[in-house]
Structure 1
Amino acid sequence: MSVGCDHVLALTADGAVKAWGKNAEGQLGNDSTEDSKAGCCCSGPATRMRRRPVAW
């Protein structure tokens, strides 16, 4: 999960990236500048990710 000032990105169990929040500058990565109240799928080359363990 990644949180910006007015938007959030999340990695789903199947590796898809979902985004929601304000999108005036296209920060949701969905080829739009419309805000999203529901998780929308991101587009582009990095939209499939793998989970990696992180040590704190």
Structure 2
Amino acid sequence: MVRWHTTRRPDQEVEAQVRGTDKAAVVAAFTEACAQAVDRAQNPVKDGDIDEQ
């Protein structure tokens, strides 16, 4: 089992975190989490991190 998520920190950095016991699954999930973190950092309105002005 693998769990991953991204979080926007108050200083506007986006963090990706992955946990799991299967190394291959963790590597794959980390790649996906990093891609989502980059997208979230570049498009904060899309994920509701900031209000659209």
TM-score for both structures, normalised by structure 2: 0.42
The structure whose RCO (Cα within 8 Å, separation 6+) is larger is: 2
Structure 1 or 2: more helix by fraction: 2
Structure 1 or 2: more strand by fraction: 1
Q: Which has the larger radius of gyration?
A: 2
TM-score for both structures, normalised by structure 1: 0.41
